[in-house]
Amino acid sequence: MEGAYTEVLADLLGSIGVIAAAVVYLSTGWPLADPLIAIAIGLWIIPRAIRLGWKAVSILAESAPSSVDVDAVLTDLAGVDGVTGVHDLHVWTLTSNMDLATAHLVVSDAADLHSVLHTARHFLKTTWGIDHATIQVEPESHADCVEQSW
């Protein structure tokens, strides 16, 4: 969407630039009006194109969004009542303005699993803006889930 917006705006500026260069050339005969306006438009487009390219690479690399401190998310999830451990936490951007998270929460055997799940999902949404989270809740007595070493 941002790329389309930038493209339309660049086309608009290009059209205005061509008209302005033509007016300057026809009224003064100055031949450098057109190339100077073209350079100015290019200088306006280049930083936006680079920023958009980096966003695309970040999304394709499934890297954590810059607005989310993954270590702080881990610490905060570990602080949810009933949670005794957090592992396999992953936060990434799927597409523009759509951040996702997955996590395994180890909870005490006596914990209310529904409350833990609700609190963790609510926390991710309200504190970090992560609307889509897949959370696996594991009782402490469940020993089958082994943290990955890769």
Which amino acid, 38?
A: A
Average pLDDT rounded to a whole number, residues 77-85: 95
Other beta carbons within 10 angstroms of residue 106's beta carbon come to 19
Q: How confident is the model over 20-36, as pLDDT tens digits?
A: 999 999 999 999 999 99
Domain at 70-139: CATH code:
3.30.70.1350
pLDDT given for residue 145 in this prediction: 67
Average pLDDT rounded to a whole number, residues 42-68: 86
Q: How confident is the model over 93-108, as pLDDT tens digits?
A: 888 778 999 999 999 9
pLDDT given for residue 66 in this prediction: 83
Average pLDDT rounded to a whole number, residues 117-146: 89
Parse the chain into domains and list their residue ranges: 2-60, 70-139
pLDDT given for residue 149 in this prediction: 59
Q: Tell me what the pLDDT averaged over the chain comes to.
A: 89
- DSSP secondary-structure letter at 53? H
pLDDT given for residue 72 in this prediction: 94
Share of residues in the chain with pLDDT > 90 (%)? 57
The yes-or-no verdict on residue 146 having pLDDT over 70 is no
User: How far, in Å, CA of 8 to CA of 60, rounded?
Assistant: 24
- The per-type count for the chain, helices as H runs and strands as E runs, is 4, 3
